[in-house]
Amino acid sequence: MKKLGILISGSGTNLQSIIDNINSGFIKNAEISVVISNNSEAYGLVRAEKSSIPTAVINHKDFPNREDFEEKLIEKLEEYNIDYVILAGFMRVLTKKFISHYRYKILNIHPALLPSFPGTDGQKQAFEYGVKFSGCTVHFVDEGTDTGPIIVQAVVPVLQNDNVETLKKRILAKEHIIFPYAIKLLVEDKLQISGRKVYIKDEPTENMKDLFLINPYSTS
């Protein structure tokens, strides 16, 4: 059984999708050992408590610098012997020290199609740029901002009558599908990293033509 430590800062809908997918048996061999938030008001903490998952609040504001904050995070994660760190809407940048401590053991979800629109407000950046497609990305975390090897991506169209909120909602629905999927692959040891590329063992390769998308589409 692999032990997950989930870091959050906010509403925790991604956390909820992971909880639900463990409960349904889609993600096997994994349990959430602890949910840590840097924000005591995060609704994700309530979600964890409702599922009887241990929680902790480690507020970055209580520490003089990032290193001390991260030392406390590591201490807490080690207390629970965690195997993987899952960043599910955790709004703090992690330093090299933390990342090297958990090399290739940290997953993040980003609400844009990386490498486009990294950093904060990925959905707004994509919307304002005027792209016809955006989406979300699950990737391993490295020292850069949203630059680590990509595991899974999902694409959504940006529609003519969208605003940032409608686009966010469409992307979030896909986040709730691909994050549990990437975690399932991770804990089942199906991911193989080679440089920047992540190969998925047993990935189906047939019917690729169904995966091509055009937006706006033509009916002719």
State the Cα–Cα distance between residues 105 and 78, nearest whole angstrom.
Answer: 13
Distance CA 141, CA 101 (A): 12
Cα within 13 Å of Cα(43), Cβ side: 5
Q: How far is the CB of 16 from ligand GRF (least distance, A)?
A: 8
Long-range interactions of 52-60: CB distance < 8 A, separation 24+ = 53/19, 54/80, 60/92
Measured CA to CA, the distance from residue 1 to residue 83 in angstroms comes to 10
Active site residue 110: yes
In this complex, which beta carbon is closest to ligand GRF, that of residue 85 or of residue 109? 109
- To the nearest whole angstrom, how small is the minimum distance from the Cβ of residue 120 to ligand GRF? 9
Nearer to ligand GRF by Cβ, of 142 and 175: the residue is 175
Footprint of ligand GRF (CB under 6 A)? 8, 10-14, 44, 88-89, 109-111, 172, 175
Q: Which of 101, 110, 139, 176 is catalytic?
A: 110
Question: Would you say 88 or 187 has its CB closer to ligand GRF?
Answer: 88
Where do the H-state alpha helices sit in the chain? 13-23, 43-50, 66-79, 96-101, 122-129, 164-187
Look at residues 174, 112, 169 and name the one whose alpha carbon lies nearest to residue 139: 112
CB closer to ligand GRF, 111 vs 148: 111
Active site residues: 110
